[in-house]
């Protein structure tokens, strides 16, 4: 009887571990050894996405989120016509400002302690998502500072788009505060809608890297 209970407990624990393993998000570490990271380039600031102006896609959209001295992430949607793909990039950035840069041996070692982790995003209708982003004028919105010139804000979000060969880049942040002060300004409603769309895309990756596994 005791052996049967122990066997049952072992099977239960095994099934839990298998289930947890299946839920782990698989990522690719972006470093010198990555052979399929051609979208990145290595410069003085470490590995970064290539300039969006170099994109060969009909449409490319990048949504940058900056955490205060903790991390940053980039969600990228790109494709030709109606064949889109998406990826999520995550990187810790806690002590980068004090570094001399990765062109030195010391700097290179430090940068490689905090590489980007790239996740492929699947299970979404990306054509529909791109349509929603376009409907919210993602390729037309201005910098937040142009809307309220004398009001400071933390640049938490940055957008880069390339559509029909035209590149646009802008920043915004502190949306809750500005929505209270300017509830009827359509640009802030569009900012908020865009953030909501991208959060839905990245929700499965907003966790610590202890929950991830490399490939």
Residue 36: per-residue pLDDT: 77
Residue 78 · residue 57 · CB < 8 Å: yes
Where in the chain are the domains? 25-210
Q: Which residues of the chain fall short of a pLDDT of 70?
A: 1-25, 44-45, 68-69, 94-113, 206-215
pTM of this prediction?
0.78
Listed residue (156, 146, 145, 140) closest to 61, CA to CA: 140
Three-point CA angle 51, 89, 161, nearest 5°:
40
What was the pLDDT predicted at 66?
85
Per-residue pLDDT tens over the stretch 156-185: 899 999 998 999 999 998 888 888 888 889
Q: How far apart are CA 175 and CA 187, in angstroms?
A: 11
Average pLDDT, the chain: 78
192 burial type by CB count under 10 A (0-12 exposed, 13-18 middle, 19+ buried): middle
């Amino acid at each position: 009887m005791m052996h049967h209970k122990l066997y049952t407990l072992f099977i239960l624990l095994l099934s839990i571990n298998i289930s947890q393993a299946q839920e782990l998000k698989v990522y690719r570490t972006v470093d010198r050894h990555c052979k399929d990271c051609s979208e990145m380039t290595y410069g003085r600031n470490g590995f970064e996405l290539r300039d969006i102006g170099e994109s060969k896609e009909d449409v490319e959209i990048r949504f940058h989120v900056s955490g205060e001295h903790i991390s940053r992430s980039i969600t990228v949607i790109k494709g030709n016509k109606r064949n889109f793909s998406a990826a999520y990039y995550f990187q810790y950035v806690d002590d980068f400002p004090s570094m001399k840069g990765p062109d030195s041996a010391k700097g290179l070692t430090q940068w490689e302690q905090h590489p980007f982790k790239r996740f492929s995003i699947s299970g979404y209708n990306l054509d529909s998502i791109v349509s929603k982003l376009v409907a919210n004028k993602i390729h037309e919105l201005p910098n937040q500072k142009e809307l309220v010139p004398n009001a400071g804000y933390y640049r938490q979000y940055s957008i880069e788009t390339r559509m029909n060969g035209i590149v646009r880049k802008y920043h915004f942040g502190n949306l809750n505060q500005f929505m209270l002060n300017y509830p009827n300004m359509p640009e802030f409603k569009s900012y908020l809608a865009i953030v909501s769309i991208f959060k839905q895309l990245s929700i499965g990756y907003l966790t610590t890297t202890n929950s991830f596994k490399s490939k």
